[in-house]
């Protein structure tokens, strides 16, 4: 009996304490200032000419509840929160279940369920599922319920949620999907739109019609269950044939939504920006987007990838001098897939990693005409292990070739021999010095780009090479203000000279030979197929793995990087290698169209010598080119017995 009494007493105590805490929440909510739901979650983004290219909500698209189809209102309540009009912002039974599930699993993967809670969630820049975040959301939900009526909350929610394809708010969604105002939506149309926010990509009816129809069935059934429509109305709506509009204004750049997502990602890493938009009342974000460059890049990718099936793409254009990313595309079609392959994906970079290796080689005594024998080779790498890389198509020179030729033809054997000659830690350290933040392994295959690196991170190394050895940070954001133009954050442009300008120049010159006919030998320069498309001089390198194709190229004014591959890492056929090469060539030419050709000045202490670029000979000039050297290291300078040094390094 005493035990029962104790349990009852404990229950009463916990109940009273819970009630007091609840009352405290409400008291706190009453004394806090009323949030402005029309602006609190507003984000406006400007391009590099201070023109708006993105708004998630604005006063012109905000639609009052009376101007929204009753079918849409009833559908969202029936599907998302059937008790919306009777609770105080929380479904306590469901919250208890969610808390229990979180406690049991040790993870925070149970989301809030009411419309009020979802609305508050939309006022945050991040989607962290921590206890602190959940508590903050709870406070804000109380504030929302205290200061606004149910109709006002529902109106705000319908005007701010994501309906896919860059459409925020039901009016924008109605115009995009059905070319009509929100008040004119039929039951069939409304039930399609209401289903989209659950997963704005997966339930997009234009690209995933079958998924959208399954979701529509759930919405309609919920409306029947909750007494909003009859069975007959449900069946009639479900079976109604719909036509979709799917068009934005003519001047709208769909791919800029990838840029927008990348901006949000960068924004989340800026400590000065509050993660809750309520604290700022909304944000104005001034970016480095070049709308014309973005438009051209989108058109080029659309044309070059028109018949490539599920092959995907990532591409960026970056200013070497500033680090500014002026254009960015994270996939073939944003409406079909919002996964941003520039910011969210890491892929093996293949032979595009070799310029980093050859910079390290130049810095450590090798020259453009240093030679190794290109032949099928099995390397002993210690602990009785061996490594047997091969050249593309198993083609080898079976003779000594120069570094310049090895770079132009992307010879793997030369690269591994160089890597082992230097010592494997040298390449890792050089990559990090150039700006790669990814942890690089200290192994023999790093020379062939077997490490997975994100595109922006990888572009840091080439931006350093393109900027005469000066490292800077990749930037999408220039400045952030609140809606009243008070500056919250302004980008600092810091730079550091991390490479020797002389070796950087020599490497850039060698990289300009990857599309030079004079370098044809046992294989062809890797970018020879696009040489006729280039009107300016560029340093460039391509790279392949079984599942990835990369091209990066630059001059002092622009750096363009392109990746192609499949999201599931399946093998890419050889024919597809032409796609990133053509995209790169067309993109960098389009960006620099109308600008004078620009190249790097020869630094003091660097001289040119006419040599045979394949053999390094100064007497056999049946093929000849000007290669650059640090004064005193011209062709007469020879690293003696370089092969034996490799063997010595391996044994040590």
Reply yes or no on whether the pLDDT at 199 is more than 50: yes
Q: Which of 40, 69, 80, 512 is catalytic?
A: 80
Q: Which 3 state secondary structure label does DSSP give 257?
A: helix
The model's pLDDT over 145-198, given as tens digits with 9 standing for 90+, comes to 888 999 999 999 999 899 998 899 999 999 999 999 999 999 999 999 999 999
Reply yes or no on whether the pLDDT at 112 is more than 60: no
Contact in structure between 282 and 38 (CB atoms under 8 Å): no
Contact in structure between 401 and 374 (CB atoms under 8 Å): yes
In this prediction, residue 8 carries a pLDDT of 66
Q: State how far the Cα of 130 lies from the Cα of 145, in Å rounded to an integer.
A: 23
Beta bridge partners of 84: none
- Known catalytic residue at 345: no
Return the domain boundaries, the chain: 56-252, 300-651
pLDDT band at 141 (very low <50, low <70, confident <90, very high): confident
Percent of the chain with pLDDT over 90: 73
Find the mean pLDDT for residues 207-236. Answer: 97
- Please name the residues in contact with 325: beta carbons below 8 A apart, sequence gap of 6 or more: 262, 288, 316, 317, 318, 456, 474, 475, 476
Query: Of 55-64, 150-159, 384-393, which gets the smallest average pLDDT?
Result: 55-64
Query: Of 90-104, 218-232, 332-346, 534-548, which gets the smallest average pLDDT?
Result: 90-104
Q: State how far the Cα of 80 lies from the Cα of 303, in Å rounded to an integer.
A: 41
Q: State how far the Cα of 538 lies from the Cα of 513, in Å rounded to an integer.
A: 9
Indicate if 300-651 has the same CATH topology as 56-252.
no
Global confidence as pTM: 0.88
Beta bridge partners of 625: 611
What's the burial of 477, exposed, middle or buried (CB within 10 Å: 0-12/13-18/19+)? buried
Which residue, 144, 92, 100, 96, is CA-closest to 118? 144
Reply yes or no on whether the pLDDT at 33 is more than 70: no
CATH 3.40.710.10 fits 300-651, yes or no: yes
Q: Which of 222, 255, 276, 351 is catalytic?
A: 351
Which residue, 405, 626, 401, is CA-closest to 526? 405
CATH 3.40.120.10 fits 56-252, yes or no: no
The model's pLDDT over 446-481, given as tens digits with 9 standing for 90+, comes to 999 999 999 999 999 999 999 999 999 999 999 999
- Please name the residues in contact with 373: beta carbons below 8 A apart, sequence gap of 6 or more: 397, 398, 399, 400, 401, 413, 643
- What region, left, alpha or beta, does residue 632 occupy, with left being phi > 0 and alpha being psi -120 to 50 degrees? left
Which residue, 73, 282, 255, is CA-closest to 174? 73
Secondary structure letter of residue 37 according to DSSP = T
Q: State how far the Cα of 89 lies from the Cα of 577, in Å rounded to an integer.
A: 54
- Known catalytic residue at 80: yes
Secondary structure letter of residue 161 according to DSSP = S
């Amino acid at each position: 009996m005493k035990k029962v009494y104790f349990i009852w007493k404990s229950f009463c105590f916990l109940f009273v304490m819970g009630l007091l805490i609840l009352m405290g929440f409400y008291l706190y909510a009453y004394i806090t200032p009323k949030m402005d739901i029309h602006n609190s979650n507003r984000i406006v983004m400007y391009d590099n000419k201070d023109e708006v290219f993105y708004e998630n909500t604005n006063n012109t698209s905000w639609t009052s509840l009376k101007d929204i189809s009753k079918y849409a209102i009833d559908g969202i309540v029936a599907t998302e929160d059937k008790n919306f009009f009777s609770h105080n912002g929380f479904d306590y039974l469901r919250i208890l279940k969610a808390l229990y599930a979180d406690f049991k699993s040790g993870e925070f993967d149970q989301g809030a369920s009411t419309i009020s809670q979802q609305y508050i969630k939309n006022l945050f820049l991040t989607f962290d599922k921590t206890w602190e975040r959940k508590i903050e959301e709870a406070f804000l939900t109380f504030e929302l319920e205290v200061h606004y009526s149910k109709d006002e909350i529902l109106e705000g929610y319908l005007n701010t949620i994501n309906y896919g394809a860059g459409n925020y708010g039901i009016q924008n969604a109605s115009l995009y999907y059905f070319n009509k105002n929100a008040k004119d939506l039929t039951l069939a149309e409304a039930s399609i739109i209401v289903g989209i926010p659950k997963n704005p990509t997966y339930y997009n009816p234009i690209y995933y019609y079958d998924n959208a129809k399954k979701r529509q069935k759930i919405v309609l059934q919920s409306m029947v269950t909750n007494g909003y429509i009859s069975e007959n109305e449900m069946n009639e709506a479900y079976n109604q044939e719909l036509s979709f509009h799917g068009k934005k204004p003519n001047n709208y750049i769909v791919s800029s939504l990838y840029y927008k997502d990348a901006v949000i990602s960068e924004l989340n890493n800026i400590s000065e920006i509050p993660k809750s938009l309520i604290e700022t009342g909304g944000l104005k974000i001034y970016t480095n987007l070049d709308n014309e460059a973005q438009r051209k890049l989108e058109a080029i990718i659309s044309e070059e990838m028109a018949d490539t099936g599920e092959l995907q793409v990532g591409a960026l254009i970056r200013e070497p001098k500033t680090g500014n990313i002026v254009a960015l595309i994270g996939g073939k079609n944003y409406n079909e897939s919002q996964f941003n392959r520039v910011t969210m994906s890491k892929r093996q970079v293949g032979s595009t990693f070799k310029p980093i290796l050859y910079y390290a080689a130049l810095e450590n005594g090798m020259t453009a005409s240093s030679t190794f024998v290109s032949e099928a080779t099995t390397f002993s790498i210690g602990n009785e292990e061996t490594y047997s890389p091969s050249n593309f198509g198993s083609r080898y020179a079976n003779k000594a070739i120069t570094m310049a030729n090895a770079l132009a033809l992307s010879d793997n054997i030369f690269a591994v021999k160089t890597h082992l000659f230097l010592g494997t830690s040298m390449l890792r350290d050089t990559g990090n010095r150039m700006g790669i933040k990814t942890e690089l392994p200290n192994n023999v295959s790093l020379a062939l780009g077997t490490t997975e690196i994100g595109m922006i991170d990888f572009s840091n190394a080439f931006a350093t090479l393109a900027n005469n050895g000066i490292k800077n940070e990749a930037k999408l954001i220039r400045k952030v203000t609140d809606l009243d133009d008070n500056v919250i954050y302004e980008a600092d442009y810091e730079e550091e000279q991390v490479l020797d300008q002389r070796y950087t120049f020599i490497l850039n010159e060698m990289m300009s030979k990857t599309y030079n006919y004079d370098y044809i030998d046992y294989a062809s320069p890797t970018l020879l197929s696009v040489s006729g498309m280039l009107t300016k001089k560029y340093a460039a390198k391509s790279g392949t793995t079984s599942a990835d194709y990369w091209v990066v190229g630059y001059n002092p004014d622009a750096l363009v990087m392109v990746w192609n591959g499949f999201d599931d890492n399946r093998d890419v056929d050889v024919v597809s290698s032409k796609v990133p090469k053509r995209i790169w060539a067309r993109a960098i030419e389009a960006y620099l169209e109308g600008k004078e050709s620009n190249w790097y000045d020869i630094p003091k202490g660097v001289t040119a010598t006419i040599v045979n670029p394949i053999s390094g000979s100064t007497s056999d000039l049946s093929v000849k080119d000007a290669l650059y050297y640090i004064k005193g290291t011209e062709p007469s300078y020879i690293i003696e017995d370089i092969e034996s040094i490799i063997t010595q390094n391996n044994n040590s």
